[in-house]
Structure 1
Amino acid sequence: MFVDRDLSVERRESVAVMRLSRPERMNAMTPDMEAALRDAVEAANADPSVRVIVITGAGKAFCAGADLRAVKEGNYYEKQADLLRRADSTAAPYIGRFSYFSLSPKPIVAALNGAAVGVGITLALSCDLRVARSGAKLALSFSRLGLAAEEGVALLLPRLIGASAAMDLLLTGRTLTAEHGHNIGLITSIYDDDDFESAVLSNLQEMTTVCSPDAMRRIKSQVWDSVLCGYDEAVKRARIHIEESRQGNDFQEAVASFAEKRVPQYAGLSLSRDKQLV
């Protein structure tokens, strides 16, 4: 078992279970956690005894989005920029924050043990399969933070669940249940709260024992090649939007209201501001 400050990795037979390990912060994502996850996935890729990778969270949450406290404390964006450069400089056919998931020869399963918000959903969307605890809640809360949808979310989500459902989730930032996520195709399977992780691993047994690793690698590549057509351009445009929104008044108001534990007060839009969108 490997244990990092922000991530632990445990072998359960031929499955590598990677656990986001900041339960006191509901596993809110930091650049250090993201770097540890990248290293763990690359290590599992190189280990022939690993057939499947599972990513889950410690405690009651999967990942409660980016750590806004870390954002306020200093060099968050500098570290994040280094991670993006690392992702983009790999041999991946697609640039993007978690694009290396699609290049892994092993199926990667997001096991949503609890709340998945913002970048937690971005991570889950980049996995091959998403399963959830019955009580898990999900939200793409970018609009409520004064931010554009990050990376390839605005391309991936419509291709997974359809444009109308994706538009609804992204525009409203509304929280949805695991059952709702299953109904719209975002979640593939739901398991009872009791023994969630054991149930997930049990249901992966067929994949790890009777499915050809080489066939799974090839099928995974075929599916992602289809899904990610146009992904590079979507990511490039998303990065323009996210950087502009991060520098805008709405995001500053979102960070301030979070710290002050109040409802954000956003100003209205003008037509001239709309025209600045790329």
Structure 2
Amino acid sequence: MANQTVLCDIGEGICTLTLNRPDRLNAWTAEMHSELKDALYQAGADPDVRVIILTGAGRGFCAGADMGGLQAIGGGASPDRKTKTQAGLPGGSTLAEFRMPYSYFPAIPKFIISAINGPAAGLGFIIPLYTDLRFAAESAVFTTSFAQRGLIAEHGVSWLLPRLVGQSAALDLLCSARKIRAPEALSLGLVSRVIPDDKLMAETRAYARLMADTVSPRSVAVMKRQVWEAAFQSLAEATTQANHEMELSFQTADFKEGVAHFLEKRAARFTGR
């Protein structure tokens, strides 16, 4: 997975994917879109990967869509909405909702953490919302920016954002397109943790290592799928699904290992089976 616009590093059960156009604040292109999707699916299928970290190279996370592409659309070019269709991954959600051009993140059966290291605007604002957890550097700045470009709430952000920050705050961020800094993002629930810039990756990796070393990857995959799919279920449906998944869990090697390592007072050796 050696790519140009997305860098990949795998070690100690963690796959770190880095958006790699630092001279353009990692502005989004069709090539980056394709490479990131391929990299996430490959990491999702790799048994050696337990957790995925997504971050940006240089001083920004992602400044949104490359303005050259937007200018071409404004000049009459048709936007390229094509995307490769990928087969579902074992353990990942199979809902149609998670097969749209940008909504596939919940279908990846690995926990995905965004380490937001600087400006996150437009598409760069939306992408972290599809990940499972968001950590922000103290210098991070967020803006939806769409209203300032004559655009609308695209790629599912009108569904995602109110579920994280509430309807009023979502309308505020979308319709004003104002910039907010990391402390306000934390107070709104947009991110889960604000970390000093020079410690962002170390603390994100420490959290990822905790997951990679101490919890069952099978349990994580199932719980991730349960939580994302619950938005489309009634309480009865979610409970029925949970009861079924619990019965399946009792039959797994990871369940036996979970009990054994606790009783034997040793480190866990989960296999994901």
TM-score band by shorter chain is: 0.7 to 0.9
Partner of 2:96: 93
Given the two structures, how large is their TM-score scaled by the length of structure 2?
Answer: 0.77
Distance 1:8 1:79, change over 3 A: farther
Which residue type is aligned with residue 56 of structure 1? T
Partner of 1:107: 111
Partner of 2:236: none
Tell me whether 89-98 or 211-220 shows the greater mean CA deviation: 89-98
Q: Alpha-carbon deviation of 1:77?
A: 7.0
Tell me the alpha carbon deviations over residues 209-245 of structure 1, each in whole angstroms, 9 at most, x when there is no partner.
Answer: 111111111111111012356xxxxxxxxxxxxxxxx
Partner secondary structure for residue 150 of structure 1: coil
2-structure distance, mates of 1:215, 1:178: 31
> Kindly, what percent of the aligned residue pairs are identical?
36
Task: Check conservation: 2:13, 2:209, Cα contact below 8 A.
Answer: no
Q: Alpha-carbon deviation of 1:33?
A: 0.4
1-structure distance, mates of 2:186, 2:52: 21
Distance 1:39 1:222, change over 3 A: same
Unpaired stretches in structure 2, ≥5 consecutive residues? 89-93, 234-273
Task: Check conservation: 1:92, 1:100, Cα contact below 8 A.
Answer: no
Partner of 1:82: 82
Partner of 1:52: 51
Q: Alpha-carbon deviation of 1:193?
A: 1.1
Q: Which of 186, 192, 195 is the equivalent residue of 1:191?
A: 195
Q: Alpha-carbon deviation of 1:69?
A: 1.3
Given the two structures, how large is their TM-score scaled by the length of structure 1?
Answer: 0.76
1-structure distance, mates of 2:49, 2:213: 12
Partner of 1:221: 225
Q: Alpha-carbon deviation of 1:76?
A: 11
Q: Alpha-carbon deviation of 1:68?
A: 1.0
Tell me the alpha carbon deviations over residues 239-263 of structure 1, each in whole angstroms, 9 at most, x when there is no partner.
Answer: xxxxxxxxxxxxxxxxxxxxxxxxx
Q: Alpha-carbon deviation of 1:92?
A: 4.5
Paired residues in the alignment total 226
2-structure distance, mates of 1:174, 1:25: 21
Q: Counterparts in 2 of 1:14-25, with a 5 A limit?
A: 14-25=13-24
Unpaired stretches in structure 1, ≥5 consecutive residues? 230-278
Distance 1:158 1:208, change over 3 A: same
Q: Alpha-carbon deviation of 1:38?
A: 0.5
Which residue type is aligned with residue 82 of structure 2? D
Distance 1:102 1:228, change over 3 A: farther
Distance 1:145 1:79, change over 3 A: closer
1-structure distance, mates of 2:217, 2:201: 23
Task: Check conservation: 2:12, 2:209, Cα contact below 8 A.
Answer: no
Q: Counterparts in 2 of 1:61-210, with a 5 A limit?
A: 61-73=60-72, 80-83=80-83, 86=85, 92-94=95-97, 95-210=99-214
Partner of 1:9: 8
Task: Check conservation: 1:56, 1:62, Cα contact below 8 A.
Answer: yes
Tell me whether 49-58 or 96-105 shows the greater mean CA deviation: 96-105
Partner of 2:256: none
Task: Check conservation: 1:63, 1:117, Cα contact below 8 A.
Answer: yes
Partner of 1:245: none
Task: Check conservation: 1:6, 1:21, Cα contact below 8 A.
Answer: yes
Partner secondary structure for residue 3 of structure 1: coil
Q: Alpha-carbon deviation of 1:185?
A: 0.6
Partner of 2:260: none
